[in-house]
Chains A and B, each alone.
Chain A
Amino acid sequence: MERPLTQDIRPDRSPLDIDEYERAGGYGALRKMLGEMPPDRVQEEVKASNLRGRGGAGFPTGVKWSFVPMGVDAPRPKYIISNSDEMEPGAFKDRLLMEGNPHQLIEGLIIGAYAVQADHAYVFLRWAYHRSARSVEKAVAQAYARGYLGRNILGSGYSLEMRIHISAGRYICGEETALLNALEGKRGIPRSKPPFPQLSGLWGKPAIVNNAETLANLPHIIAKGAEWYRGLSRSPDGGTKIYGVSGRVKNPGLWELPMGVTMREILEERAGGMAEGYRLRGIIPGGASTDFLLPEHLDVKMDYDSVQKAGSRLGTGTMIILDDRTCPVGMVHNLMRFFARESCGWCTPCREGLPWLTEILAALETGRGREGDLDILEDHTRLLGPGHTFCALAPGAVEPLQSALRHFRSDFERHIREKKCPWR
Chain B
Amino acid sequence: MLTEEEKREIEKEIRKQEYPKAACVEVLRVLQAGRGWVSDEGIRDAAPLLGMTPEELDAVATFYPFIFRRPVGRHVIFICDAVSCWVMGYGNLLEHLERRLGITLGETTPDGRFTLLPISCLGACDCAPAVMIDRDLHGDLTPQKIDGLLERYE
Which residues of A are at the interface with B, using a C-beta cutoff of 8 A? 86-92, 94-95, 120, 127-131, 163, 165-171, 182-188, 203, 244-248, 252-254, 284, 288, 318, 320-323, 326, 330-331, 334-335, 337-338, 341-342, 344
Contacts and interface: CB of A to CB of B under 8 A. Distances in A.
Interface string B28-60: 110000000000000000000010100000011
22 contacts: A87-B121, A89-B83, A165-B25, A166-B25, A167-B64, A168-B28, A168-B29, A185-B19, A185-B21, A185-B52, A187-B60, A246-B84, A247-B84, A252-B125, A254-B126, A288-B82, A288-B121, A320-B83, A334-B81, A334-B82, A334-B86, A335-B83
B103 interface: no
B127 to A, nearest CB: 8
Q: Which 8 A-B pairs have the closest CB atoms?
A: A168-B64, A185-B21, A246-B125, A89-B82, A246-B84, A252-B126, A92-B123, A89-B121
B128 A246 contact: yes
Size bracket of the B interface: 35 or more
B70 interface: no
Contact of A185 (B24, B66, B88, B123): B24
A248 B125 CA distance: 11
A95 B124 CA distance: 9
B120 A92 contact: no
Contacts of A127: 66
B18 interface: yes
B24 to A, nearest CB: 4
B25 A128 contact: no
Contacts of B132: 128
B83 A95 contact: no
Given A89-B84, A163-B16, A341 B121 contact: no
Max chain A Cβ within 10 angstroms of own Cβ: one of B17, B21, B65, B82: B82
Interface of B: 16-19, 21-26, 28-29, 50, 52, 59-60, 63-67, 78, 81-84, 86-88, 119-128, 132, 135, 137
A375 to B, nearest CB: 25
Contacts of B28: 168
B120 A185 contact: no
Contact of B123 (A129, A166, A170, A245): A129
Max chain A Cβ within 10 angstroms of own Cβ: one of B17, B23, B87, B128: B87
A252 B126 CA distance: 5
B25 A167 contact: yes
Contacts of B135: 130
Nearest to B61: A168
Max chain A Cβ within 10 angstroms of own Cβ: one of B23, B24, B66, B67: B66
Given A187-B60, A334-B86, A91 B123 contact: yes
B9 to A, nearest CB: 15
B12 to A, nearest CB: 14
Contacts of B16: 163
B31 to A, nearest CB: 12
Contact of A338 (B19, B60, B82): B82
Contacts of B87: 246-248, 320-323, 326, 331
